[in-house]
Structure 1
């Protein structure tokens, strides 16, 4: 079976781009559907650690390429047990690259091996999720993405922190602008 890199996204601007790495086509599809059902994820799927490295721009001949993470991946969700390069090996490679260190990596496996889980956490994994994945696991993924990558929703009121508000006595008025059209 050939690998497919299938960028699928919902129309939300606040999409969190998830790279799903799993050698099992059925598991990839299930994870993809769960992520898309949530509505806040853009999903790219690949079938191996090697393909993940290609998507991230980490293949051998261009390790220091300026196009590193050109797909703007926000989080990586990878299976632990895969041939050639398992999820732990992928995690190690990602955490060794300075430009990928800040990208959260979550591993998943059907095997509840505490020693394996601890080793992944010690190496920098954000989480280790047991398969089968559930909706709660998917919802947790957004909390691992740094708030700097999150785009505020349009039309949502936000409070300005008091330390950056201009000092005023509260009685100032903004000047009125006549004949201004807003497009």
Structure 2
């Protein structure tokens, strides 16, 4: 398994997440957790603001075909917000041909089975219970299809010991004698 806490490969752009939450403190906590895990984060306080950032408000949709100029890779939105809630934002994103491929993850402190089912049926990748946990953050990466990394010539590859094939060969080889060079 890849080490998700390791710094990202600098040949690949970080995953850019738009965090939508009406609570300032919740936005800041989610932002810190995501940035610590090497995500690029943009935060907004409402579904309406998210629509503006994505270029999905009425003005932009009528006058431009360029949606998502910030190259948002994923949207992580609270469900309960005044005005446009997380489900309404999800539906608006999925109904627009330019933004429907952006993964949307809904989060809420309330567990409501019918709400969760409705969001998943309408296209949410997942419904996460608040507060956001590290195990949730690790799953977020799997919802985005990042560009394939380019390989640098002469790059070192870090291999995790538990991924190396088991071999008895190393155990049978006697240790080198002190002061004796082995060619």
| TM-score with structure 2 setting the length | 0.75
1:15 aligns with 2:14: yes
Q: Name stretches of at least 5 consecutive residues in structure 2 with no aligned partner.
A: 1-7, 158-183
- Per mean C-alpha deviation after superposition, the further-off stretch among 118-127 and 57-66 is 57-66
Counterpart of 1:174 in structure 2 is none
**Per-residue deviation at 1:157?**
8.7
Counterpart of 2:137 in structure 1 is 138
**Per-residue deviation at 1:14?**
2.9
Q: Residues 21-40 of structure 1: matches in 2 within 5 Å?
A: 21-39=20-38
Aligned length in residues: 146
Contact 1:121–1:127, Cα closer than 8 Å, also in 2: yes
Change (3 A) 1:131 1:72: same
| C-alpha distance in structure 2 between counterparts of 1:116 and 1:135, whole Å | 24
Counterpart of 2:72 in structure 1 is 73
Counterpart pick for 2:44 among 23, 41, 46: 46
**Per-residue deviation at 1:43?**
0.4
Over the aligned positions, Cα root-mean-square deviation in angstroms equals 2.0
Q: Name stretches of at least 5 consecutive residues in structure 1 with no aligned partner.
A: 1-9, 159-183
| C-alpha distance in structure 1 between counterparts of 2:44 and 2:151, whole Å | 32
| C-alpha distance in structure 1 between counterparts of 2:113 and 2:124, whole Å | 14
Contact 1:16–1:150, Cα closer than 8 Å, also in 2: no
| TM-score with structure 1 setting the length | 0.75
- Per mean C-alpha deviation after superposition, the further-off stretch among 52-61 and 11-20 is 11-20
| C-alpha distance in structure 1 between counterparts of 2:86 and 2:136, whole Å | 18
